[in-house]
Amino acid sequence: MKRAKKSPSQKTWRRVRVGGIVQGVGFRPTVFRLARRHGLVGEVRNTAHGVELILGGLDGAIRGFLDELPRAIPAPGRIEQLTEEPTAPIPGCNDFSIAPSVSAKTIEVVIPPDQATCADCLRELFDPSNRRFGYPLITCTICGPRYSIIESLPYDRERTTMRAFPLCAECRAEYEDPEDRRFHAETVACARCGPNLELLSPSGPVACADPIFATVDVLRVGQIVAVKGIGGYHLACDATNEAAVAELRRRKRRQHKPFAILVNNLEVAAQYCTIGDVEASVLRSREAPIVLLKRRGPVLPEVLAPDNNRLGVMLPYTPIQHLLARHFDALVMTSGNITDEPIRHTEKGMRDLLGPVADFALTHLREIINPSDDSVVLVQRGEPVLIRRARGHVPTPLLSDVKMPPILAVGPDLKNACAFGLGQRVYFSPHIGDLEYPAAFRRHVEEIERFGKWFGEKPRAVACDLHPGYLSTQNAHRLAASWGAQVIEVQHHHAHIAACLAEHGLSGEIIGVAMDGTGFGSDGAIWGGEFMVASRAGFQRFGHLAYQSVPGGDRSIREPWRMLAAYLIEVFGVEFAEMILKRHVAASVDIQQVARVLSGPIRAPQTSSVGRLFDAVGVLLGFPTEITYEAQNAVAVESLCGGEQPPPYELQLSKAANVGPDDDPDVFEISLRGLFEGIVVDLETGVARETIAGRFHAAIIEMIVQGCRRIRERTGLAHVALSGGCFVNTILVEGACARLEAEGFEVLRRRVVPPNDGGIALGQIAVAATQMAAQ
């Protein structure tokens, strides 16, 4: 950086452009105070690219200011680029000011994420002498909604949904006072000028002195309330009231999938769950996600999360949640929707819930423009892993080590999230969900339109899954045709591994272990237990779980007993398999039906999926023959495992009979014969289910180690990427990492983007960017 050569006493003028997370985080007020402290004059303004400063003063003072700036900005502010150049003086300028924002074609925006209520606002909320005492939408320069209410950039009140609420004289005075902590707080409001709460019943507004206390009253008697949050509506009920929770399950048509709970503070959470230091700090973070904690015995009703040794817990992150949570031991706080559809965030969405699902709605008129669910975090090996990337994390971009033209990645069909790559940044949409739901597919389309709106650029490439039947893939082809963009199809498991490489900024080859439920393989089979050597440019498969016929396609996913029957028939023959099912599976199932499909004239699809294997083993261990959410039985099997590490079941690695188009000529397959023989012997001899679950996990870990060892012998590679939905399983992750590291491997996992299909879009972008760079 060149410095102007001037005498120390002479005033100079510099233009400084700052990029990164610099809007909506109290950046301008910080600059304002700091500039005054250093005796500088000039101005600061938001632009479509970040923040621009014009500084006038002695060179030493400007240096001092710039040195101090990075340390002075409040979290979660982040300076990614800073450039400075000489500029002309501002005529007649003898003070420092915050200038009006300038808009332009937006291509480098960083939209601030939503922030949990800060400690200062919380103090005011509960201080009877404060003028915002009990004001349920209290915010300041560093906390409150951001992304969810921003219509366009730069970030100023008139481009947020707070535009509808003109400031009263007192709020205006705070907004304009440089010494006030609400100086230029774009979301500032109070009970007089801002939105206020209203409790609605299906027949209209409920007349009450205080909507919070009225809500507490109805929750106490077991009713269900839709509560407006930051990114959408939650459905709340008393989590200690088993009948209320069961009723919520019935109305939401959600039989088994866990409900998250909201508790007032860490001390309360510790009564229900064990909380480590990392978990505690994640719970208290300004992103305030749901954290999956180990349950501590049956303190809360089992119906909150059946067959699951974890419970999703969050602490209040909005003033409304703070006002409600302190009256309860625990509240269910689950996304306001039916089954697994996207979270409802509009007035109309709330009206649809009010009556059929919720008895009441606690709402206000601050509109939500950009919806998002709660983020979900799991701590593995002492590190937080994002399982669902949404509120608090979106839309903060991930930094890429390579520069790319505009690329849209549409993600996969399950756990969909899409992403937009531009320059050195990758922006994720919030978690959308399973595109088989029409409402989720509509949200998927909206999120893609949102990227268009933010960035004002047409993608040059659209990256998608290889699966021809995916709605996301078909949509990608349509979009690319309309934009004149190129389509880049990325094999699902390659995308899983490429996402891991991109997250860690690695460009070379790595051993990739991708394990999940379903992904379309390049040989037409359903993959999900794959060993590959992969780079961002391509992959070659070195091994996989032995193929197993799938009797009846998607039906075997929802009814894993069918998959179990198919494995058992393959290993033991129909008669013995039928006997095993009769003895160990409570529900009556018709194995002959499966046998007929398998021996019928139409060749059943083949799968190497570890997810399917988990679900099937779950049935054998007494869990449901039919499941209602993805990985239900896998979670149940993991939850059975205790601290001990029993010996693994036997596995055989051998050369595969068939070599697919992307396979190494010596591709190996792993037979499950020994595993099923071992489980059946253990069941017949009365070995505890917990031990069987432990031995099963040990076998999968052993399989990972043996597979990696074999690939290292062939290639010399010693870096392993573990990726795919199965690596949400902590027993697998911790076991596999410990064993691999003991054998000299270096193990990489995904933490910033979810290891499950929620992170696939990053892999698609990484592969597409590499292929485009090579063109």
66 interacts with Zn ion by CB under 5 A: no
Minimum Å gap between C-beta 600 and Zn ion is: 29
Nearest CB to Zn ion, comparing residues 93 and 191: 191
Minimum Å gap between C-beta 543 and Zn ion is: 18
Say how far apart CA 535 and CA 750 lie, in whole Å: 16
Nearest CB to Zn ion, comparing residues 414 and 692: 414
* Residue 766 one-letter amino acid: A
Q: How many CB atoms lie within 10 A of CB 743?
A: 13
Quick one: DSSP state of residue 768? H
434 interacts with Zn ion by CB under 5 A: no
**Which positions ≥6 away from 272 have C-beta within 8 Å?**
261, 263, 293, 295, 296, 299, 300, 311, 313, 330
Give 169: exposed, middle or buried? Use CB within 10 Å, 0-12, 13-18, 19+: exposed
Minimum Å gap between C-beta 48 and Zn ion is: 26
464 interacts with Zn ion by CB under 5 A: no
Considering only residues 22, 140, 288, 394, which one is a binding residue for Zn ion as defined by CB under 5 A? Answer: 140
Minimum Å gap between C-beta 386 and Zn ion is: 15
Nearest CB to Zn ion, comparing residues 194 and 406: 194
Considering only residues 73, 116, 149, 190, which one is a binding residue for Zn ion as defined by CB under 5 A? Answer: 190
| DSSP H stretches of helix in 184-329 | 211-220, 242-252, 266-272, 277-283, 319-325
Minimum Å gap between C-beta 493 and Zn ion is: 7
**CA contacts within 13 A on the Cβ side of 52:** 15
Nearest CB to Zn ion, comparing residues 47 and 491: 491
**Which listed range, 138-146, 331-339, 531-539, 640-648, lies at the site for Zn ion (CB under 5 A)?**
138-146
Say how far apart CA 308 and CA 477 lie, in whole Å: 40
579 interacts with Zn ion by CB under 5 A: no
Say how far apart CA 120 and CA 139 lie, in whole Å: 9
Considering only residues 143, 226, 290, 394, which one is a binding residue for Zn ion as defined by CB under 5 A? Answer: 143
Nearest CB to Zn ion, comparing residues 11 and 364: 364
**Which listed range, 137-145, 315-323, 386-394, 590-598, lies at the site for Zn ion (CB under 5 A)?**
137-145
Size of the site for Zn ion (CB under 5 A): 11
Minimum Å gap between C-beta 468 and Zn ion is: 17
Minimum Å gap between C-beta 699 and Zn ion is: 21
Nearest CB to Zn ion, comparing residues 188 and 353: 188
Q: How many CB atoms lie within 10 A of CB 54?
A: 21
Helix, strand, or coil here: 335?
strand
Residue window 211-250: x/- pattern of binding to Zn ion, with contact defined by CB under 5 A: ----------------------------------------
**Which listed range, 115-123, 616-624, 689-697, 728-736, lies at the site for Zn ion (CB under 5 A)?**
115-123
Nearest CB to Zn ion, comparing residues 192 and 478: 192
193 interacts with Zn ion by CB under 5 A: yes
- Tokens standing for residue 408: 């849209």
Considering only residues 44, 66, 118, 331, which one is a binding residue for Zn ion as defined by CB under 5 A? Answer: 118
Beta strands in 466-601, from DSSP E residues, in sequence order: 486-490, 510-520, 526-534, 539-545, 548-549
**Which listed range, 102-110, 185-193, 483-491, 614-622, lies at the site for Zn ion (CB under 5 A)?**
185-193
Nearest CB to Zn ion, comparing residues 121 and 199: 121
Minimum Å gap between C-beta 142 and Zn ion is: 6
**Which positions ≥6 away from 331 have C-beta within 8 Å?**
219, 236, 237, 238, 239, 261, 262, 263, 324, 325
Residue window 477-516: x/- pattern of binding to Zn ion, with contact defined by CB under 5 A: ---------------------------------------x
Residues between 510 and 529 that touch Zn ion (CB under 5 A): 516
121 interacts with Zn ion by CB under 5 A: yes
Say how far apart CA 449 and CA 442 lie, in whole Å: 11
Minimum Å gap between C-beta 189 and Zn ion is: 6
Minimum Å gap between C-beta 443 and Zn ion is: 20
Quick one: DSSP state of residue 189? -
Residues between 735 and 764 that touch Zn ion (CB under 5 A): 757
Minimum Å gap between C-beta 542 and Zn ion is: 19
**Which positions ≥6 away from 63 have C-beta within 8 Å?**
none
**CA contacts within 13 A on the Cβ side of 443:** 30
Minimum Å gap between C-beta 724 and Zn ion is: 5
Task: Identify which of 458, 421, 453 has the alpha carbon closest to the alpha carbon of residue 151.
Answer: 453
Q: Are 189 and 171 in contact (CB under 8 A)?
A: yes
Residue window 698-727: x/- pattern of binding to Zn ion, with contact defined by CB under 5 A: ------------------------------
**What is the phi/psi pair of residue 495, to 5°?**
-60, -40
Determine how β-strand 383-388 pairs with β-strand 548-549. Answer: unpaired
Nearest CB to Zn ion, comparing residues 3 and 192: 192
Minimum Å gap between C-beta 605 and Zn ion is: 17
Minimum Å gap between C-beta 415 and Zn ion is: 8
Nearest CB to Zn ion, comparing residues 273 and 766: 766
Quick one: DSSP state of residue 728? G
Say how far apart CA 353 and CA 91 lie, in whole Å: 58
Beta strands in 603-718, from DSSP E residues, in sequence order: 606-607, 652-655, 663-671
Q: Are 546 and 608 in contact (CB under 8 A)?
A: yes
Minimum Å gap between C-beta 516 and Zn ion is: 4
**Structure-token match 């910080």, residue found:** 30
Nearest CB to Zn ion, comparing residues 412 and 678: 412
Nearest CB to Zn ion, comparing residues 190 and 261: 190
Determine how β-strand 198-201 pairs with β-strand 331-335. Answer: unpaired
Alpha carbon 347 to chain centroid distance? 25
Nearest CB to Zn ion, comparing residues 43 and 413: 413
171 interacts with Zn ion by CB under 5 A: yes
Nearest CB to Zn ion, comparing residues 301 and 521: 521
Buried-state track 297-334, b at ≥16 Cβ within 10 A, e below 16: eeebbebbbbbbbbbbbbbbbbbbbbbbbebbbbbbbb
| DSSP H stretches of helix in 118-241 | 119-125, 169-176, 211-220
Q: Are 756 and 724 in contact (CB under 8 A)?
A: yes
280 interacts with Zn ion by CB under 5 A: no
**Which listed range, 164-172, 270-278, 339-347, 395-403, lies at the site for Zn ion (CB under 5 A)?**
164-172
Nearest CB to Zn ion, comparing residues 241 and 607: 607
Q: Are 349 and 320 in contact (CB under 8 A)?
A: no
Considering only residues 93, 99, 168, 338, which one is a binding residue for Zn ion as defined by CB under 5 A? Answer: 168
Residues forming contacts to Zn ion in the complex (CB under 5 A) are 118, 121, 140, 143, 168, 171, 190, 192-193, 516, 757
